Homo-oligomer: A and B are copies of this chain.
C-alpha cells in the first residue's frame, strides 16, 4: 500500500500545500480555474488536478458560467479536521477550556434548533 487515496480523505486532501493555497484563495470568493492558476503561480492543468481532488472530497463546489467553471469554497468538510485537532487543545492551552467548552455548547445548541 501507499498512502490512503487522497480523494477519500480530507486530511490527505489538505496535506498538499498548493491545495491549501487554493482553499485560502477561495475564501475571498469564487473564481475560475485559470485565474487561480495565475494567482497561485501554477499551470492550468495543475490547478485543475488539485481542484478535482478538492471537489471529490467535497471541499469545493463548482458551477459553470459560460466557458468558465467557477469554483467556490465548501468548507464544511474542514470541520471534522478542525474538531479533531481541537481535541488536543488542552495540551497547548489550559486555562480557557471552560470558555471554549461554553462556546462549543452554544454552537451545538444552535445546530439543534
Contact = CB atoms under 8 A, between A and B. Distances in A.
Interface of A: 3-4, 9, 11-12, 14-17, 20, 23-24, 27, 73-76, 78-79, 81-82, 84-89, 91-93, 95-96, 99-100, 103, 106-107, 110
Nearest to A73: B91
B78 A92 contact: yes
Copies in the complex: 2
- A interface majority secondary structure: helix
B99 A75 contact: no
A99 B96 CA distance: 13
A106 B110 CA distance: 23
A103 B11 CA distance: 26
